[in-house]
Chain A
Amino acid sequence: MTRSDELLGRAKGGATVEFRQVSKHYARSANGQPIAAVRDLSLVVQPGEICVLVGPSGCGKTTSLKMVNRLIEPTSGQILIDGVDVMTVDPVALRRRIGYVIQQVGLFPHRTIAENIATVPELVGWPKAKIRARVDELIALVGLDPASYRDRYPSQLSGGERQRIGVARAMAIEPPLMLMDEPFGAVDPIVRERLQNEFLDLQRRLGLTVLFVTHDIDEAIKLGTRVAVFEQGGTIAQYSPPAELLMRPATDYVARFVGSDRALKRLAVMRLADLRLSPVSSAGEGPVFSAETNVRDALAALLLAPRAAGTVVDSSGVPIGVVTMETIASAVQPVAASLE
């Protein structure tokens, strides 16, 4: 078994990724001083997590992503995938085992959809029949009809369809790790929302580890298991789960970056089941919510309800409590307080 087989060679489930004090310098300023694109980056991504790198443009998030598959090589520090330093692995073998999706999708215009998806399987020498079956499986997996899409060319697809094929292509050999650089950036908000939901669903089912770059904090909060907020100069200001980022921004910079509406954003990542609900009253009036409803949607409904109260039921329809404006307000108070 070669070193690259060993790396990412496990059959199923996601990989662990670890950045150890990784820096990247470019020597190009007028006085010859090296410019840091990424400075002393350390973070760990557990198997099956989506780690979102978010920040303004030029903050080093894309550079960090590209160092994982060695499109860019670090100046110092180590990046380990399942404990193996990527710099010790042949870059070509490494990349063939890591899914890679970029914003512009990069579908090959001269190849059909089937040929595009087959790119990596062909590179690693899968038999033809296996490739054909896998291609159809993947087109269906991203919600398109294999029979009518297989032989089309990228120019015959809409923006959203191209993004889906881009994701399908990156998943062709079931990589335990996906690198995604603003993969949903080039489509309209409605399509983006649908693609995000489908991707989340897919990612959870397959247990992939994902490194995801975006400049959109809302996307980061929605998709991230953990979110790394980058600031200018290539350092991480905070690395936490989205709820914590919203509730306890580590610095003023993070607070500004997540936005003054972060109380509302926080509601979007909480479920009614997470709230301290009032006991069920005999009245039992108002709208009925599933316990899985996100608090933001519940709040929107309560604002329109006559008595500003609603009943929360569990998955079998049994009432488990009552949600009111007060219940919701008390859940976000810490956030409101920290705004001062």
Chain B
Amino acid sequence: MTLLGAVWAWLTNSVHWQGSDGIPTRIAEHLWISGVSVFIALVVALPLGLLIGHTNRGALVTVSIMNVGRALPSLAFLAFALPASFALNLGLGFWPTVIALVPLAIPLMLVNTYAAIRGVDPDLVEAARGMGMRELEVLGKVEVPVALPLIIAGIRNAAVTVVATATLGALVAGGGLGRYIVDGLARQDYARLLAGAILVALLSITTEVAFAVIERLVVSPGLRLDRERLALPDAGGAR
């Protein structure tokens, strides 16, 4: 039997779709870990990104710190997260994983949000201010809606990265699809390992698609038209 055949057999075995080690449970765990991590990162990164984007104060310092953060491997975060979790009495599994994922997601969201807000045409901001919008109104009624496609792109990147990396949680006794990979490796059960990897990849792609749908729903058609209009002259054009 080829490895692929074995993977297919593993995936279609009804035993693997039931119980606490079943695929539905693992996917739910995986999504829960990822969702909580993305949510916490969002609560931290979004307001901060909007603030430094709008005021352009503290941008250099923040972005530099974020870039250092981005350069660190996720495994290193996990190594830091484990003792931190013990120190806070949060135990193994779920919390160390979340603690490792949050700092992974924050730079992706924050840097994108900051850049998206900075990228809004200064003439729009001045028109808004000149018409008598207060600073929060300028941000909420003009900067955020106009920057929304890029802000969502940042959140999407972070979410996809988190879903892919949440796999590491299994190393610290967490749940999620990473279990199949870690356990598969330990038991030399390569069908299990590969099935886990495929499921993680599918989940990442699904996340990507979900955000594309969200973007479609919340971004103004006016901006989409703008982009299509700008994109048109390039289509098929000589470069």
Contacts and interface: CB of A to CB of B under 8 A. Distances in A.
B223 A109 contact: yes
A95 B221 CA distance: 29
A155 B225 contact: yes
A102 B132 contact: no
A49 B137 CA distance: 32
B129 interface: yes
Interface residues on B, range: 20 to 34
A31 B65 CA distance: 34
A156 B121 CA distance: 18
B127 A120 contact: no
A69 interface: yes
Contacts of B131: 95-96, 100, 119-120, 123, 169-170
Given A154-B222, A155-B226, A110 B130 contact: no
Q: Interface majority SS on B: helix, strand, loop or mixed?
A: helix
Nearest to B129: A71
B59 to A, nearest CB: 20
A92 interface: yes
Contacts of A111: 220, 222
Interface residues of A, number: 30
B130 A102 contact: yes
A106 B126 contact: yes
Contacts, number: 82
Nearest to A69: B130
A107 B37 CA distance: 38
B129 A123 contact: no
Contact of B133 (A110, A123, A179): A123
A251 B82 CA distance: 79
B147 to A, nearest CB: 10
B132 A109 contact: no
A120 B134 CA distance: 12
A81 interface: no
Interface in B92-140: 121, 123-124, 126-134, 137
A108 interface: yes
A95 B129 contact: yes
B134 to A, nearest CB: 6
A93 interface: yes
A104 B146 CA distance: 16
B123 A104 contact: yes
Contacts of B146: 108-110
Given A104-B123, A106-B124, A108-B142, A95 B226 contact: no
B219 to A, nearest CB: 8
Nearest to A169: B131
A81 to B, nearest CB: 14
B145 interface: yes
A324 interface: no
A156 B145 contact: no
A170 B142 CA distance: 17
Contact of A100 (B127, B148, B219): B127
A170 B128 CA distance: 11
A153 B220 CA distance: 10
Interface in A56-74: 66, 69, 71
Given A92-B132, A119-B131, A71 B225 contact: no
Nearest to B145: A110
A237 B86 CA distance: 76
A238 interface: no
A94 interface: yes
Contacts of A108: 124, 127-128, 141-142, 145-146, 222
Contact of A110 (B129, B134, B222): B222
A333 to B, nearest CB: 46
A152 to B, nearest CB: 9
B132 A94 contact: yes
A126 to B, nearest CB: 14
A106 B123 CA distance: 6
Contacts of A107: 127
B57 interface: no
Contacts of B133: 92, 123
Contacts of A293: none
Contact of A106 (B127, B137, B141, B225): B127
A100 B133 CA distance: 12
A107 B141 CA distance: 13
B187 interface: no
Interface string B212-234: 00000001111101100100000
The 7 closest A-B pairs by CB, nearest first: A106-B127, A153-B222, A96-B132, A110-B220, A95-B132, A100-B130, A104-B123
Interface of A: 66, 69, 71, 92-97, 100, 102, 104-112, 119-120, 123, 153-156, 169-170, 179
